Structure 1
């Protein structure tokens, strides 16, 4: 199974939907990743506000990523960070947050944090699968993914890959009961845990009690230091502000 490719296809599909609905392009883009495919266009996050407030937002809600994220504005804006920046953006944000936290605790290393944008393809595949698991779980935190929506997501995933093993795997993840401890157990490195938590922050609505409670329990199960949680939240909010 190639989860990295599927995750990038999900994000690319969201990009295409937004791009096809118009909007002005400006110079600038997210840092390039060594391992992940970049979106075809170079539209910056700064152009997203108009797109997401109009037809582009409605278009995003039509794909598999939109079905996972739901229709809340907070999810649209956080999802936009992932849609336009892809895994490279998530890796860059996680790298900065984790690096800042390490510096605060005098624990920096010469190699720096081994986030998804800085590791070999085989490791990137492991990170991608963990991130997708986290995204699916976060999408279920408010209970909006019911049987009908799951079937719709299955259909959209089927348009992106012919890998039946991968399609079945995604369906199984959608069917699983929400269990923060099981999600946390997927993280095999501190950086992977940070990326999974960051992805969750970007797609949940923290004003929703159930979703906020899920995030808190996920952080607890991952044993994320409070300072690291704060740093990840800060970097996520700064990225989302670029959409405004």
Structure 2
């Protein structure tokens, strides 16, 4: 059975899979209509993988993001799994925005991330809502990874071949393949948001998967923010929060 929450952890899993608030933090009409894990990193040969596992290279995240591996999560963000870190980042940005604070990566870096309250859009308690949100976050991340056009047919074939070497279930592979093969559709991503909070979280994971120095990816983010109806000040907080939680990857000299 397809487990979106587990697959998201494999993309973004923290180094401490037993870390705080490991429950997930759901698809529908939006914005904002009302209808709507597994430790792959170690199993894949201990290569750097996922966002929390180190660099944004290696594992499923690295296969999708290609050369966008110059950053990694830092601080206590490393103790969260995929759902939790996405929720924590979006929640912090949203709270600072609501409080009228100045968007500051430095301030974000100096304050430990806290999990969002349970039974909020950032942290649903029902399993069905967790799975729905995880599925939408995965779709947003894969769409963002395609925004620069580097995942062509040849790259897709390479990704699928590499996935065959990993401990990924058949239904997980089908989901990733279908999302990679689908035309890039920012409106489809935006329609997943049922609430403003979910919109912020979809933007957060998209930002994690994007190189903000790339013009085509910046354009995608701008269009996504507009489709999600995100206020410019909230977007600034989302960028500041993500930037504050990241640090450059140290390059080793051979």
TM-score of the aligned structures, taking structure 1 as reference length: 0.71
Distance 1:104 1:62, change over 3 A: closer
Range with bigger deviation, 206-215 or 111-120? 111-120
What SS does structure 2 have at the residue aligned with 1:77?
strand
Distance in 1, Cα, partners of 2:98 & 2:119:
9
| Alignment match, 2:167 | 160
Aligned: 1:77 with 2:72: yes
Displacement of 1:81 after TM fit?
A: 9.5
Determine whether 1:6 maps to 2:13: no
Compare 191-200 and 212-221 and name the one that shifted more: 191-200
Tell me whether 1:191 sits opposite 2:191 in the alignment.
no
1:32 to 18, 21, 24: 21
Task: Please give the root-mean-square deviation of Cα atoms over the aligned residues, in Å.
Answer: 3.7
Indicate conservation of the 8 Å contact 1:11/1:82, yes or no: no
Question: Contact 2:137/2:202 (CA < 8 Å) preserved in 1?
Answer: yes
Give the equivalent residue in structure 2 for 1:47.
Answer: none
Mapped partners of 1:77, 1:31: distance in 2? 20
Secondary structure, in 3 states, of the residue corresponding to 2:246? helix
Q: Cα deviation per residue 1:100-152 (whole Å; 9 max; x = unaligned)?
A: 223339xxxxx688244453322111111111001101111111111122123
For residues 1-244 of structure 1, the aligned pairs below 5 Å read 1-12=2-13, 31-35=20-24, 37=37, 61-74=57-70, 76-77=71-72, 85=80, 86-104=82-100, 114-158=120-164, 159-164=166-171, 166-241=172-247
User: How many angstroms apart in 2 are the aligned matches of 1:81 and 1:242?
Assistant: 16
Q: Which moved more, 1:115-124 or 1:131-140?
A: 115-124
Query: C-alpha offsets along residues 25-50 of structure 1, whole Å, 9 cap, x if unaligned?
Result: xxxx9743333749799xxxxxxxxx
Could you tell me which runs of 5 or more consecutive residues in structure 2 were left unpaired when the two chains were aligned. Answer: 26-36, 42-48, 102-116
- TM-score scaled to structure 2, two decimals? 0.69
Q: Which structure exhibits the higher relative contact order, with contacts defined as CA atoms closer than 8 Å and separated by 6 or more residues?
A: 2
Is the 1:82–1:90 contact (alpha carbons within 8 Å) kept by the matching residues of 2? no
Q: How many residues align?
A: 211
- For residue 191 of structure 1, report the CA deviation from its aligned partner: 1.8
* Contact persistence 1:4–1:125 (CA under 8 A): yes
Q: Would the alpha carbon gap of residues 173 and 161 (structure 1) be closer, same or farther in structure 2, given more than 3 Å must change?
A: same
Following the alignment from structure 2 to structure 1, what is the Cα–Cα distance between the partners of residues 154 and 40?
31
8 Å Cα contact 2:10-2:39 kept in structure 1:
no
Summarize the Cα distance change of 1:91–1:201 in structure 2 as closer, same or farther, 3 Å threshold. Answer: same
Higher helix proportion (structure 1 or 2): 1
Kept in 1, the 8 Å contact 2:10–2:60? The answer is no
Aligned 8 A contact 1:99 1:112 in 2: no
CA 1:30–1:212: 2 relative to 1, 3 Å: farther
